[in-house]
Amino acid sequence: MHVLRIAPLVLVLGVLVSQASAHVAAAPPNVNVSNLPGPQTNATIAIDPNNPKILLAGSNSVLEGTQRVYSSVDGGSTWHSAITIPPPEELASACPSDPGLAIDLTGRQYYSYDVATPCNAQGSSHIYVLTRPNATAAWSDPILVAPLGRARFDDKPAIAVDVSPSSPHRNRVYVTWTRVARNTSSTIVISSSDDGGRHWTSPVAVPKQGGDDLTYASVATGRLGDVYVAWTDQSRYGVRVARSVDGGRHFAPEVDAAAFSLIPIPHCGIGIVVAAEPRSCIQANPTVTVDTSRGRYSGRVYVGYTGTNYTGDEGAALTTFDRRLHALAGYPKMGGIHRLIAPSPRATRPDQFWAQFAVDRSSGALWACFYDTLGDPKGKKAWYSCTVSRDGGRTWPRPVRVASTFSDETQPGAAFQYGYYQGLAVANGVAHPIWTDTRHLHTAGEEIYTARLAVADIPAPANR
């Protein structure tokens, strides 16, 4: 649901970058994808696995009462915008939210989302998928992924498609989400489709250990068809990840990917409040992504997240596993958070939040993008920034500012904040980050921006 929530020791291993130094060269050309009046949030993006010029993006369009789908066939230089579903006659009667995107090996496109009816915490919410056979075709009618049954509502779906030619489940599409019971306890479930999204399997519970407050699910597939789901466990202050070797029918017991020591803020779960987003809560929001390249680190599973702790924002962080989910780096091997960027003194440490991660399947390069307040002593101005690891997540160059100007959600009129996630798609050495931006806040509200960033635009660490 898109109902707005108003508002230990950190070890570093093999990280060569000081937080005090940031790359502030000219940003790449920025493109206003939404270019609409009214706020847009929850930016997301996908790339065609067979044609990197075809991009698909989406966002919540809050005041329209619907969502936007953005299509590009020229690598992101220009975009066509359309609504996904007709808005309700009364905005408060239904709230679509949490868009997710995927494209399969045939070029078929998928758009997942949830709809709350009515638009408040007492309403019910269902997960739907739209699909179309290619980038220029018309979208299908909404397809219900699963009835609620005895559940209270469904929330925060994530979608992925298996695009590995060597997978026995290639072109199978997966949706995972939070299912909330009548007693308000929540778990993570997953469903799949083998017929282009027309029919979906009954939801399968992913966690074995239970838990009563599980959310922010993420899903990815491996080269041999393994399925990985990561999520936050707010009841145990951690991030978990689990693996399926039979196409999502069964999952092995989950393993820890991160653990936090928190002084809980009642309305934040395991989130925190930072100066750059004072009216909402920054969450760990894990991203699971898998190296499906033929490179040196093929098969590695990465769980990236924002380090939220009692000490504040610990920045973009990473745990690395082999394909069987044996930890290679990060938690628990380090006993703490493995930050991408080496920490500076707390008094001068900038905030990094809403981190996104993606692997380039052509090379195995691991990208990370996030908001970064470095450069503003007050921590209120944030530049969307990116970096890339060429050695399996061990070392990271200093981040490059992708946004050509800062965003400031503390200024008057910034009621919708940055949303609950941003987006990142990568192919053939080029990253396409997409983010919520405030440069037109007083004339158009929050807008969705994107840019193209090549590996060559981010210098490798000098002493790798």
Burial of residue 10 (CB within 10 Å: 0-12, 13-18, 19+) is middle
Which amino acid is located at 174 in the chain? Y
Name the phi and psi angles at 278, rounded to 5: -75, -15
Mean pLDDT over each residue of the chain, to the nearest integer: 90
Mind listing the pLDDT tens digit for each residue in 354-363?
Answer: 999 999 999 9
Q: pTM for the complete prediction?
A: 0.93
Residue 346 pLDDT:
59
Share of the chain above pLDDT 90, in %: 74
Work out the average pLDDT over 443-455: 95
Residue with tokens 């939220």: 308
Mind listing the pLDDT tens digit for each residue in 116-130?
Answer: 998 877 778 999 999
Q: Which of 17-31, 84-98, 109-123, 427-441 has the lowest mean pLDDT?
A: 17-31
pLDDT at 405 over 70: yes
Residue 344 pLDDT:
62
Q: Could you give the residue ranges of the DSSP H alpha helices within 358-424?
A: none
The b/e string for 355-391 (b: 16+ C-beta within 10 A; e otherwise) is bbbbbbbbbbbbbbbbbbbbebeebbbbbbbbbbbbb
The C-alpha atoms of residue 26 and residue 301 are separated, in whole angstroms, by 32
Mind listing the pLDDT tens digit for each residue in 311-350?
Answer: 788 899 999 999 999 999 999 887 777 889 876 665 567 9
Residue 263 pLDDT:
66
Question: Is the CB of residue 447 less than 8 Å from the CB of residue 41?
Answer: no
Name the phi and psi angles at 455, rounded to 5: -55, -40
Residue 49 pLDDT:
97
Residue 18 pLDDT:
40
ω into 118 cis (within 30 of 0): yes
- Cα 268 off chain centre by: 18
14: confidence class by pLDDT, cuts 50, 70, 90 = very low
Residue 343 pLDDT:
66
Mind listing the pLDDT tens digit for each residue in 231-268?
Answer: 999 888 899 999 999 999 999 999 999 998 876 787 78
Structural domains in the chain? 30-457 (2.120.10.10)
pLDDT at 100 over 90: yes
Mind listing the pLDDT tens digit for each residue in 17-70?
Answer: 444 445 556 899 999 999 999 899 999 999 999 999 999 999 999 899 999 999
Share of the chain above pLDDT 70, in %: 91
Residue 11 pLDDT:
32
Question: Is the CB of residue 99 less than 8 Å from the CB of residue 419?
Answer: no
Give the dihedral sign, CA 113/127/417/91.
positive
428: confidence class by pLDDT, cuts 50, 70, 90 = very high
